[in-house]
Structure 1
Amino acid sequence: MRTVFGIDVSKSTSNVCVLVDSNKVSEFKIDNDLIGFGRLESALNSFVDPEVIFEATGVYSRRLAYFLQTHHLSYAQLNPLQASKEMDGLRKNKTDKNDAFHLAETQFILNREKTRLQDPIYSELKDESRFYQEQVNDLVQEKNRLHRILQISFPDITQLFSNPSGPMYWNIVKTFPIPSMVDVYSIEQLTEMIHEFSGNNVGVRTCTNLAKKLVNLSKTAVSSVSIDSLVIEQVKHLATRLLEISQWENKIIKSMEKLAKKLPELEVLKSIPGISTVTAVSLIAELGDIRRFRTTNQINAFVGIDLRHYEFGNYTASDRISKRGNPYARKILYQAVMAMVSTSRYQSNHINDYYQKKKQPSQHGTKKIAVAAMGRLIRTIYHLVMKNETYDYEIASLARH
């Protein structure tokens, strides 16, 4: 006798359909809380080796998955794309009840494998990674806002650094949001303040040069607001906000690194030239335990760089990546490839060798070449993690031929 529980998970409730040898024996609805999950557990315990199948619905299904994991109950979790492909032909009348029934019904035909349970560290890393990505996005928005408002209060201050960004710059902007506020300080006082803003990590001579440059910029700058304007407070607020976001970014990365140190793949990824600690922990967070994938093609699909081919009659479209996978992982992998290319002058790596070989002469754009390089990087990471080996350029170079 084979028993399957099909569960359609919504925001606050879940529909459960129980099939025994393809025959419906029970159907009920539960709240997504301890009482509802307790009822589900009692129903599961009334059968021998029941199979549980449900579709991943973002944060809502996380609660169900966590409950099943902590109660040592195995399950098969489908990603939305997979569920759509497998059940669209059956959904003549799409309701939560029908979805639960069809999930259970198709399990008897498709025999989906149980989801491999990951160490809880991966889930925590993913949550922190998403928090980090939010801070990165907020940082970009606030930087743009600050740059725009500085064009009104103190436009020339953006020339103080070749790259007007970072805590040192934001502290200076926060303290001197308008040119007239520079005039009340001597070069020595400004030097001391800038040195403090740098965290005492920049030499006194450099700070003195910056102080002199700031004074010169303040003498030629034209502000279109008075010192009493609310715009000045806005500049201070934005600079403070940027400093806070920067602190949060550092705090999250330190937390992620502390978690990832418990996993053997951290040192494996860090051994690859061009992959920093931030990139390594971010990749682990978004890819999860890649040992759960049987092939690198599955990882490509998970990331969304698997190719889509289209032919109709005599027309053949150019192959394109699906972009249906994890956009965060895709972005991090792209940045990793670009970092490996830019740092290759110091540390050789086979990804850059491949990139440069394809780049010239080539009819393909740099983005297509980068995507192909991302595929190679995935194969490299997968091999190293599965073998628990660190990167070796000579071995990697031989393997590519």
Structure 2
Amino acid sequence: SLSQWLGASLYLLAHLPHWVALFHASGGSNLRSSGSIYPQYSSNEKAIKYARNQLHAFLTLSFPELESYFSSVASEYALEMIQLFPHPDSLLNYSRTKVKNLIYKNTKKNISQTKALLEAESILTIAKDAYPAVDNDSLETFLVIDWASKLQQLVRQKKEIQKKLIDRAQSFKEFYVYTSFSGVGELTAALLIAELGDITRFDNHKQLNAFVGIDIRRFQSGDSPNYDKISKRGNTLARKTLYLVITNMIRSQTSGPNHIVDYYYRAKKQPHAKKHKVVLIGCMDRFLKSIHYLVLHGKLYDYDLSPK
């Protein structure tokens, strides 16, 4: 909204001298320094991915139907339920009331007695039709509980790390520039700061493109015509973060006008529609050009002043 934009603008102007001094003193963003929270975030992401794969491998053997029962097995509630009932027999040995009480007392989800009873009936139904490949007392079933517990701890840790990452990112002027774009949330802005650092060290946005690895290189093979391809020589994680930025902008286009989203739909129009990847690279280029200018001049994003 206009009031939010004005508030952020005033905050940016008030703190600009402090940020300039901070950047000169630190040489740019310190989110990627050895003592930073950012390496913990990266390690946590990898650990979560590994734990999910391990849980999937063993749950497929002990109670595969649970994977389709929950919309996400990595949610707090799903992981609590999996630890309670890692195998169909862990349910079928109990009455409906006993299962209801276990759900009500052992999950942190705000659930009523009535809702817990309905949940008990639903999960008992799938347990009766389940076909596990291992026994309830098998090592595989034990490992389901173990990996569900580990994944639960990692997911909780991720939330804590995200909060710390955002809190630290708010010390940088880029945070307010990036979040002034519709579709760029606080966590995404923090990740961009961590990956791109102080972008004022680049003389122009083309140098920033090269740092990220989306600068265009022209190739020629024999008698075939020239073709263009991005170099991919730059920061892989930065490219992944930028991909997330652009896809979020497209998905959340109703949250506010954005000239980058406008370009995306123009470029996808027939009869000369560009390929999806080509359009995404074009969007990244426009975004990097915009943030480089805005950060350099201490301004927030304004759709009415953006190039159309």
TM-score, normalisation: structure 2: 0.82
Distance 1:343 1:126 in 2: 34
Identical counterparts, % of pairs:
30
Distance 1:189 1:339 in 2: 44
Q: 2:76 aligns with which of 161, 164, 167?
A: 167
Distance 2:34 2:115 in 1: 39
* Residue type of the alignment partner of 1:378: L
**CA drift at 1:186:** 4.8
1:216 alignment counterpart:
125
Larger radius of gyration between Structure 1 and Structure 2: 1
Check the 8 A contact 1:384/1:391 in 2, yes or no: yes
The size of the alignment, in residue pairs, is: 284
Distance 2:36 2:166 in 1: 13
* Residue type of the alignment partner of 2:278: K
Distance 2:70 2:252 in 1: 23
Distance 1:329 1:173 in 2: 35
Check the 8 A contact 2:246/2:284 in 1, yes or no: yes
Q: 2:30 aligns with which of 121, 138, 143?
A: 121
* Paired residue secondary structure (2:285): helix
Distance 1:205 1:389, change over 3 A: farther
Check the 8 A contact 2:32/2:195 in 1, yes or no: no
Which structure has greater helix proportion? 2
Distance 2:34 2:190 in 1: 8
Distance 2:61 2:121 in 1: 22
Distance 2:142 2:264 in 1: 48
Q: Which structure has more RCO (C-alpha within 8 Å, separation ≥ 6)?
A: 2
* Paired residue secondary structure (2:30): helix
1:133 alignment counterpart:
42
Distance 1:209 1:383 in 2: 56
Check the 8 A contact 1:267/1:390 in 2, yes or no: yes
Q: Deviations over 1:135-164 (max 9, x none)?
A: 222322321222222121001111222333
Distance 1:122 1:161, change over 3 A: closer
* Paired residue secondary structure (2:133): coil
2:262 alignment counterpart:
353
**CA drift at 1:133:** 2.3
2:230 alignment counterpart:
321
**CA drift at 1:204:** 6.1
Check the 8 A contact 1:156/1:217 in 2, yes or no: yes
TM-score, normalisation: structure 1: 0.64
**CA drift at 1:326:** 0.6
Q: 1:374 aligns with which of 284, 300, 304?
A: 284
1:291 alignment counterpart:
200
Which structure has greater strand proportion? 1
Distance 2:111 2:294 in 1: 39
Distance 1:203 1:293 in 2: 56
**CA drift at 1:197:** 6.3
* Residue type of the alignment partner of 2:289: R
Distance 2:204 2:107 in 1: 48
Runs of 4+ with deviation above 6 angstroms: none
Distance 2:281 2:89 in 1: 50
Check the 8 A contact 2:218/2:229 in 1, yes or no: yes
Structure 1 residues 137-286: aligned runs within 5 Å: 137-187=46-96, 190-191=99-100, 193-194=102-103, 199-201=108-110, 207-286=116-195
Q: Deviations over 1:209-238 (max 9, x none)?
A: 433221111111111211211011111121
Distance 2:237 2:106 in 1: 33
Distance 2:34 2:184 in 1: 18
2:6 alignment counterpart:
none
Q: Deviations over 1:71-126 (max 9, x none)?
A: xxxxxxxxxxxxxxxxxxxxxxxxxxxxxxxxxxxxxxxxxxxx995146344399
**CA drift at 1:313:** 7.1
* Paired residue secondary structure (1:345): helix
* Paired residue secondary structure (1:309): strand
Check the 8 A contact 1:303/1:325 in 2, yes or no: yes
Check the 8 A contact 2:219/2:228 in 1, yes or no: yes
Query: What is the root-mean-square deviation of aligned Cα atoms in Å?
Result: 2.6
Task: Name the stretch that deviates more: 164-173 or 284-293.
Answer: 164-173
